[in-house]
Chains A and B, each alone.
Chain A
Amino acid sequence: MDAQLKAMWSTIPPATPEELAGARQRLLDGMRPRRRVVTGPRLLIAAGVAAAALVAAPLLGGAGTPAYAVTESPDGTITVTVNELHDPAGLQARLGAAGIRADVTFLAAGEQCAPDRFAGVDETYGGPAATRPRELRSMVDGSRSAKATQVTSVRTIRISPRYIRPGETLVVEFRDNQDARVPWRLGAWLAQAGTSVAPCTPVDDPH
């Protein structure tokens, strides 16, 4: 009996470093001094990565690898692969062709867009600060912004148009993470329909 139970699902292998990268990053994030105040626009940057299955892989780069790719799935979702933070206008246009009104910004390491670029549809942008990870998590879990854009691996995000209402703009900010294993971090929010999104003014991110 013990032998049969031990053999049950024993072909499942130990996790690879790639499969563990996301959990490892969460541990590293959790090791930093606590009680930092997390402001609205930073929310999804942190949460997106926390929710992601992060894959450790060398930066692809080089010839033949497109900076980004956009693929539409039969289930209506759109997968965006971002290998390099290059040509945001091209990516924005490509998303437009896929039916997503988007505003795409690529940021250097240590930069963020100055706040109040737009009016968000929920508290994840410009809302009250969350001081605790759990608070942050519940805020993010309940938000349509978070459902509309999920980080699915270190290089890919999945956009679910069913969470985006007519006229809303998907605002995405990719920041260079200076880490070959996790090349960028993402902030993604929905801007209210009928409002405009101001261009990003990069400012130093003090965090």
Chain B
Amino acid sequence: MTLSREAVEVHDAILIERSLDEPEIFSVLFDRHAPLLHRYATRRLGPSEAEDIVADTFLAAFQHRGDYDRSRSDARPWLYGIASNVIGKRRRAETSLYRAYIRSGVHPAELSGLRVEDGVGTLAVNRPLAQALLDLSQADRDVLLLVAWAELSYQEVAEALAIPPGTVASRLNRARHRVRHALNRQEQGE
């Protein structure tokens, strides 16, 4: 049942090409990538927004599938790039999630039963992280979280956001610096 990564990569581009004539094929792409895209959106905006993010992302992807660069076998950078735009339109939902977390220490999608056992220690790290994410610009946050949470490579982030790799590197450096600073401050404060 598990497909090798190569097999999956080849399939994305072919699927998208075939979906031009047979639109229903596009739902296979959804089934393949929506679970993790939903998780990514849930982490950033919370569970109540995630469904809309996923639906809007795939609808936009479907409508623009004719523009897909079929030399790119893996569709993830393309999909996460679209998702970044969709998320950017709801940045208020994102910032209010971080604010609520800083206040309450609870992410709405983390079930209490699933909390790691050292919840207090986690909170001591996550709170300053949430504050740092809150303080980042949308562009820097996109780059940082596409790497850390969506696990895209630099090159893939560059493709996703249609920016040069050098820009990815500089945004990532700036974002990491801020985050590190926030964590250090926390440690010194404790």
Which chain B residues border A19 with CB–CB below 8 Å?
38, 51
B115 interface hit (Cβ, 8 Å): yes
Give the residue of B34, B50, B148 whose beta carbon is less than 8 angstroms from that of A2. B148
A61 within 8 A of B: no
Are B38 and A20 touching (Cβ within 8 A)? Answer: yes
Task: Report, as a range, how many residues of chain B touch the other chain.
Answer: 35 or more
The smallest beta-carbon distance between B89 and chain A, in angstroms, is 13
Partner of A5, one of B30, B39, B55, B129: B129
Contact of B59 among A5, A22, A26 (CB under 8 A): A26
* Cβ of B78 under 8 Å from chain A: no
Interface residues on A, range: 20 to 34
Q: Kindly identify, within residues 8 to 66 of chain B, every residue whose CB is under 8 Å from any CB belonging to chain A.
A: 23-24, 26-27, 30-31, 34-36, 38-39, 42-43, 50-52, 54-55, 58-59, 62-63
How many A-B pairs have beta carbons closer than 8 Å: the answer is: 95
Report chain B residues within 8 Å CB of A7.
122, 125
Nearest residue (CB) in B for A53 is B51
Q: Is A1 an interface residue (CB 8 A)?
A: yes
The answer to whether A15 and B179 have CB atoms under 8 Å apart is: no
Q: How far is the CA of A2 from the CA of B52 in the complex (A)?
A: 28
Q: Which residues of A contact B (CB under 8 A)?
A: 1-2, 4-9, 11-16, 19-20, 22-24, 26-28, 30-31, 50, 53
- Nearest 6 pairs between A and B by C-beta? A15-B38, A23-B55, A14-B35, A26-B55, A23-B54, A5-B148
| Interface contacts beyond A14-B36, A23-B58: sample of 12 additional A-B pairs, CB < 8 Å, sorted by A | A1-B180, A8-B130, A9-B109, A9-B126, A11-B116, A12-B39, A12-B42, A12-B43, A19-B51, A20-B51, A24-B27, A27-B59
